[in-house]
Amino acid sequence: MGLPSGGRRRTPGLRREEVAQLAGVSVAWYTWLEQGREIHPSIDTLEAISRALRLPPEERVHAFALAGREPPRDSPPPLPQLAPASVQAVLGAIAFPAYVSDRAWNVIAWNAPADELFGHAARAPADRNSMVIAFGDPSFRAMLVNWSEEAGHLVASFRRAHDEAPDDPALERVLERLRGFPEFRRLWANHDVRQRYFARKELHHPILGTLLFESQSYTSTPLGLRLVIFVPDARTAERMAGRANSPRRRA
Task: Give the domain extent around 231.
Answer: 85-250
For strands 198-205 and 209-220, give the pairing. antiparallel
In a domain, 49, yes or no: yes
Q: Give the helix/strand (H/E) hosting 229.
A: strand 225-232
pLDDT at 9: 67
CA pair distance 225, 223, nearest whole angstrom: 5
pLDDT at 96: 95
pLDDT bin (cut points 50, 70, 90) of residue 244 is: low
Are 58 and 175 found together in one domain?
no
In a domain, 77, yes or no: no
pLDDT at 1: 67
pLDDT at 165: 83
pLDDT bin (cut points 50, 70, 90) of residue 249 is: low
Do 48 and 19 form a contact (C-beta atoms < 8 A)?
no
Residues 6 or more apart whose Cβ sits within 8 Å of residue 64: 43, 46, 70, 71
Q: What is the pLDDT of residues 126-181, one digit of tens each?
A: 999 999 999 999 999 999 999 999 999 999 999 998 988 878 999 999 999 999 99
Are 95 and 215 found together in one domain?
yes
Are 161 and 56 found together in one domain?
no
CA pair distance 251, 37, nearest whole angstrom: 74
pLDDT bin (cut points 50, 70, 90) of residue 250 is: very low
CATH number of the domain bearing residue 221 = 3.30.450.180
Are 199 and 149 found together in one domain?
yes
Are 102 and 182 found together in one domain?
yes
In 3D space, the residue among 163, 160, 222 whose CA is nearest the CA of residue 194 turns out to be 160
Are 107 and 29 found together in one domain?
no
Are 143 and 50 found together in one domain?
no
In a domain, 180, yes or no: yes
Among 3-17, 35-49, 216-230, the range scoring the smallest mean pLDDT is: 3-17
CA pair distance 152, 158, nearest whole angstrom: 10
In a domain, 233, yes or no: yes
In 3D space, the residue among 237, 238, 219, 236 whose CA is nearest the CA of residue 228 turns out to be 219
Are 92 and 216 found together in one domain?
yes
Are 52 and 103 found together in one domain?
no
Q: How many domains does the chain have?
A: 2
In 3D space, the residue among 204, 9, 17, 219 whose CA is nearest the CA of residue 117 turns out to be 204
36 or 230, greater pLDDT? 230
Are 143 and 208 found together in one domain?
yes
Exposed, middle or buried, 117 (CB in 10 Å: 0-12/13-18/19+)? buried
Q: Indicate whether 247 pLDDT > 70.
A: no
Are 55 and 127 found together in one domain?
no
Do 243 and 207 form a contact (C-beta atoms < 8 A)?
yes
Are 35 and 130 found together in one domain?
no
As a whole number, the mean pLDDT across the chain is 89
In a domain, 186, yes or no: yes
Q: What is the pLDDT of residues 82-118, one digit of tens each?
A: 899 999 999 999 999 999 999 999 999 999 999 999 9
In a domain, 113, yes or no: yes
Q: pTM, whole model, 2 decimals?
A: 0.74
In a domain, 72, yes or no: no
Region 64-72 average pLDDT:
85
In a domain, 29, yes or no: yes
Q: What is the pLDDT of residues 20-33, one digit of tens each?
A: 998 999 999 999 98
